[in-house]
């Protein structure tokens, strides 16, 4: 096995890591992130694409934003969201490999 894996992981880091996975643990959020992995989109577009209310998407986006997984910029009336993390796509891709086996 790999002894290096657990070394240097204190409770706080473990909590942070768990939090990261927590954000990836919902199919709607995952879909959201997959969509954003292809380019930035406004809240209304995401709402339509996911089939949930604008408010619900907005709440999810705030959560993802606090976790620094997404970021946004205003363009006129609209607010465009995009991925803000290089690891997210990797994580999703890796998880996908697992699931597809």
Partner DNA sequence: CAGACACTTGAATACTTGTTCAAATGTTAA
Partner DNA sequence: TTAACATTTGAACAAGTATTCAAGTGTCTG
C-beta of residue 72 within 8 angstroms of C-beta of residue 58: no
The CA distances from residue 81 to 10, 18, 19, 72, in Å, are: 33, 24, 21, 4
Query: Which of 17, 54, 90, 96 is the binder for DNA (CB under 7 A)?
Result: 54
Q: Which does 93 bind (CB under 5 to 8 A by kind): DNA, a copy of itself, none?
A: a copy of itself
56 binds, among DNA, a copy of itself, none (CB under 5 to 8 A by kind): DNA
Asked whether position 16 contacts DNA by CB under 7 A, the answer is no
| Residue 24 makes contact with DNA by CB under 7 A | no
Does residue number 22 form part of the binding site for DNA (CB under 7 A)?
yes
Q: How far is it, in rounded angstroms, from Cα 101 to Cα 94?
A: 11
Binding site partner of 6, from DNA, a copy of itself, none, Cβ cut-off 5-8 A by kind: a copy of itself
Report yes or no: 79 and 73 within 8 Å, Cβ to Cβ: yes
């Amino acid at each position: 096995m790999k002894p290096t894996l657990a070394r240097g992981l204190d409770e706080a880091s473990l909590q942070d890591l768990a939090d990261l996975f927590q954000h990836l643990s919902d199919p709607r959020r995952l879909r959201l992130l997959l969509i954003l992995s292809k380019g930035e989109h406004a809240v209304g577009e995401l709402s339509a694409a996911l089939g949930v209310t604008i408010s619900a998407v907005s709440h999810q986006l705030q959560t993802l934003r606090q976790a620094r997984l997404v970021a946004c910029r205003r363009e006129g009336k609209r607010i465009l969201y995009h991925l803000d993390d290089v690891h997210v796509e990797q994580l999703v891709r890796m998880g996908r490999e697992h699931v597809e086996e």
